[in-house]
């Protein structure tokens, strides 16, 4: 049994099939089961949710053509863009997949359906696929459509239950820090926890760049596969490079390997890396994997990453977020009044880290958004 799993997949332009190298097509057509992360809704809806960052939707015709030529069996939908065009976008995407015989996991009309485990029956045994995403804009609720939002307690129970019903449990997580090639210490602890609760493998994507892997209690964790095919231009070189994870199951034994893919910056043509370019990616993958296994290095890298983004997070937590008039903002910036203040920062920190305050704050802020 051979399974291929990729990272983020978005085609939002007219995209000729000829842009995909024949080696890529052959790779997928010679696999027994293929999974991609469909990172944006397939919808005609123009009703956008309130959020930060871009609203994405795919080109329906080109997306379907590529999904079909690559013989994609299952799309993961637990990601931060599936709800960009509100509930209708989610429902349209589910309908699109159903009508084209493409299975889905990780999103649904409510939290109950979004969190359902997907099972693959094979000659090598029953395989459970669990798909979840960090809670960034797109999570389903008890009564609204969206993605299967991450919840540590629910996740652990679900993994344990899936393990009791299947031979293998693969957890696919959409999370991490964009353009950062390593997991945070929290991520490492959490993904290892999934292994400890019965997962046979954890696979990550979302960061738009590749990361490394580690073996925890004999089971692999791939922290980020990077982009697979994402037709949005970027000044960030890693945007155009990704990993395709290959899983082989033979007589109860699971082995993994990966292929490196690259998109052409001009037309997003997709091909396998080879030669020196492949060697460079392999070296980087090995370096990241080594850093992941050394906690002191991982912690230092994480603290450096956050330090490098001090300006960004300073603006997030500054009152300037609430000042829309650019002239007024400029005046207030000169006074220094819009800089994050220590007392306010202490309050924000406590609202975030204290579980009771965080629970209440989430309800309060959601009510504000409804007005």
Which pLDDT tens digit goes with each residue over 291-308?
Answer: 999 999 999 999 999 989
Please state the separation of Cα 213 from the chain's center in Å.
Answer: 16
Beta-ladder partners of 221: 202, 214
- Using one digit for the tens of pLDDT, what is the confidence trace for 12-48? 999 999 999 999 999 999 999 999 999 999 999 999 9
Ranges of H-type helices in 152-240:
152-165, 185-196
pLDDT at 314: 67
Beta-ladder partners of 253: 250
* The two structure tokens encoding residue 69: 């030529």
Residue 21 carries which DSSP code?
Answer: -
pLDDT at 318: 64
DSSP labels, 139-163: B--SSS-EE-B--HHHHHHHHHHHH
| Cα within 13 Å of Cα(243), Cβ side | 26
Beta-ladder partners of 213: 222
Residue 92 phi/psi, 5° resolution? -65, -40
What is the maximum alpha-carbon separation in the chain?
Answer: 69
Burial (CB count within 10 angstroms: exposed 0-12, middle 13-18, buried 19+), residue 163: middle
Query: In CATH, what class is 2-301?
Result: alpha beta
pLDDT at 338: 60
**Cβ contacts of residue 174 below 8 Å, gap of 6+?**
37, 76, 78, 79, 80, 106, 131, 132, 133, 134, 147, 204, 205, 206
Residues across the chain: 371
**Cβ contacts of residue 133 below 8 Å, gap of 6+?**
78, 79, 80, 106, 139, 147, 148, 149, 150, 173, 174, 175, 206
Residues of the chain with CATH 3.60.21: 2-301
Burial (CB count within 10 angstroms: exposed 0-12, middle 13-18, buried 19+), residue 352: exposed
The dihedral through the CA atoms of 320, 358, 306, 173 has a sign that is negative
pLDDT at 310: 78
Q: Are 346 and 317 in contact (CB under 8 A)?
A: no
Q: Are 228 and 6 in contact (CB under 8 A)?
A: yes
pLDDT at 335: 73
Residue 335 phi/psi, 5° resolution? -80, -20
Residues of the chain with pLDDT under 70: 314-323, 328-329, 331-333, 336-340
Q: What is the pTM of this model?
A: 0.92
DSSP labels, 25-43: HHHHHTSSEEEEEE-S---
């Amino acid at each position: 049994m051979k399974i291929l799993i990729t990272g983020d997949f978005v085609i939002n332009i007219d995209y000729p099939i000829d842009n995909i190298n024949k080696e890529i097509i052959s790779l997928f057509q010679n696999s027994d089961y293929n999974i991609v992360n469909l990172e944006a809704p397939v919808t005609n809806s123009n009703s956008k949710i309130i959020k930060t960052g871009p609203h994405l939707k795919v080109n329906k015709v080109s997306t379907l053509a590529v999904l079909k030529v690559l013989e994609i069996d299952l799309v993961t939908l637990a990601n931060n863009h599936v709800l960009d065009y509100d509930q209708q976008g989610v429902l349209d995407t589910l309908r699109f997949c159903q009508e084209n015989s493409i299975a889905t996991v990780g999103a649904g009309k409510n939290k109950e359906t979004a969190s359902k485990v997907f099972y693959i029956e094979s000659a090598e045994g029953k395989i459970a696929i669990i798909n979840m995403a960090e809670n960034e804009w797109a999570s389903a609720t008890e009564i609204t459509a969206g993605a299967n939002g991450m919840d540590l307690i629910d996740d652990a129970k679900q993994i344990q239950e899936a393990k009791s019903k299947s031979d293998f449990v693969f957890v696919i997580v959409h999370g991490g820090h964009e353009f950062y090639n390593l997991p945070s210490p929290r991520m490492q602890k959490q993904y290892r926890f999934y292994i400890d609760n019965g997962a046979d493998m954890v696979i990550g994507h979302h960061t738009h760049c590749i990361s490394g892997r580690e073996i925890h209690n004999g089971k692999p964790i791939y922290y980020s596969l990077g982009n697979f095919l994402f037709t949005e231009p970027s000044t960030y070189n890693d945007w155009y490079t990704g990993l395709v994870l290959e899983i082989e199951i033979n007589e109860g034994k699971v082995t993994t390997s990966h292929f490196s893919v690259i998109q052409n910056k001009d037309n997003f043509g997709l091909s396998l890396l080879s030669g020196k370019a492949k060697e460079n990616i392999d070296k980087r993958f090995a370096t990241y994997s080594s850093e992941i296994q050394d906690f002191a290095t991982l912690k230092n890298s994480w603290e450096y990453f956050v330090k490098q983004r001090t300006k960004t997070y300073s603006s997030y937590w500054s009152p300037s977020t609430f000042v829309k008039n650019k002239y007024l903002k400029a005046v207030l910036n000169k006074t220094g009044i819009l800089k994050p203040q220590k007392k306010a920062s202490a309050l924000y920190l406590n609202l975030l880290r204290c579980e009771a305050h965080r629970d209440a704050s989430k309800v309060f802020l959601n009510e504000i958004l409804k007005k």
